[in-house]
Structure 1
Amino acid sequence: MSYEDSKEWYVLHTYSGYENKVKSNIEQRAQSMGMEDNIFRVIVPEETEVEVREDGKDKEIVHKTFPGYVLIEMKMSDQAWYIVRNTPGVTGFVGSHGAGSKPSPLLPEEIEIILNRMGETARVASNIEVNVGDFVIITDGAFDGMTGKVTEIDHEKQRLKAVIEMFGRETIAEVDFNQVKEDDSY
């Protein structure tokens, strides 16, 4: 697998207080410039803390885990690097030595710790072998335990869409490969 084919996590340095704006800008730029196959997830790590106020009511406060930093899952290519690097509010990639050099990605165990603290997963590649029309059992998430018929498969993003029955109606569930298993009963 070449350098440009591997999907990895990187850290962006941003102006403090602009993390969510940078996230939004990158997502918009990736879509408008047709880079959805190179730029996948953009995350601003946050933690929620419950504070008891003087009147006895609980108040949730969201803190940025790493103020001034944004995580991005992407395939590092010259074009993707250029688009992300030149997004307003981005001051650079962490692990880049300047002069246009590509940054070093986070280690898998580093991103796993960060995402687990946020209640997300790193979406480890799954070897599920299903085709459109096959049935799957959803094993995780909001649709856990439901069976659906696969209608669309995105191998690049490791996601699929399946029609499930919910509240007496057919509904489309979009899930990661690692959230389903093949249903051999059909």
Structure 2
Amino acid sequence: MVTELQSGKQWYVLHTYSGYENKVKQNLEMRITSMGMEEFIFRVVVPEEEHVETTKTGKKKTVNTKIFPGYVLVEMIMSDEAWFVVRNTPGVTGFLGSHGQGSKPTPLLDEEVHNILRDLGMKTKKRDISFETGEVVKITGGAFNGLEGKVEEIDDEHERLKVSVEMFGRETMADVEYDQVDKY
């Protein structure tokens, strides 16, 4: 169940010293726990991608590189206390979109967050909703947007549904994510 408090969760970008992104993540996660901020600060992400490099000796090795060097993403509810904890974490030089003098930063747009996290293979948000086999739902996103159908299979672990929809006079299975479906 999403609490009223958690409904204000948004993603912000922290500016850090370049090369200290993982240390900032580690420091911030420790501060969240030690200062009891779990209800305000949820996820800390250093966007990285994996690629293969060839060394001078001809050997191939897998290397992680930062997608946004000098930046860390944090999902949080912007309150004075949470802002203070994050802003004063060692290695954090400020929030992107903050004008200084203690002003609160501008959060990332939902679409930006969705694209970044999708590219990293992460979910943008957990949806606190449950479905039952046989239930009629309306598809609100993806290729089957606007259609309604009956839930045939539920995969809670991956937050996916198989929904039977009618297209061109035949039953077709639509594989959709929880956030692409609404209950009737």
The question of a shared fold, defined as TM-score above 0.5 by the shorter chain, is answered with yes
Match of 1:72 in 2: 74
- Match among 100, 103, 106 for residue 102 of structure 2: 100
Alpha-carbon distance between aligned partners in 2 of 1:103 and 1:64, rounded to the nearest angstrom:
23
Paired letter, 1:138: D
Kept in 1: contact 2:6–2:39 (CA 8 A): no
Segments of structure 2 that go 5 or more residues without pairing to the other structure are 133-153, 161-177, 180-184
Alpha-carbon distance between aligned partners in 2 of 1:82 and 1:67, rounded to the nearest angstrom:
23
Do the aligned partners of residues 88 and 113 (structure 1) sit closer, same or farther apart at CA in structure 2, a change above 3 Å counting?
same
Do the aligned partners of residues 18 and 6 (structure 1) sit closer, same or farther apart at CA in structure 2, a change above 3 Å counting?
same
- Match among 17, 24, 27 for residue 25 of structure 1: 27
Alpha-carbon distance between aligned partners in 1 of 2:73 and 2:32, rounded to the nearest angstrom:
15
Alpha-carbon distance between aligned partners in 2 of 1:129 and 1:83, rounded to the nearest angstrom:
38
Q: What is the count of residue pairs matched by the alignment? A: 139
2:49 aligned with 1:47: yes
Match of 1:114 in 2: 116
- Match among 33, 36, 39 for residue 34 of structure 1: 36
Paired letter, 1:104: T
TM-score of the aligned structures, taking structure 2 as reference length: 0.67
Between the aligned residues of both structures, percent identity stands at: 55
Which structure's CA Rg is the greater one? Answer: 2
- Match among 158, 170, 180 for residue 140 of structure 1: 158
TM-score of the aligned structures, taking structure 1 as reference length: 0.66
Q: Which runs of 4+ in 1 moved over 6 A?
A: 1-4
Q: CA RMSD in A?
A: 2.8
Report how far residue 105 of structure 1 moved: 0.5
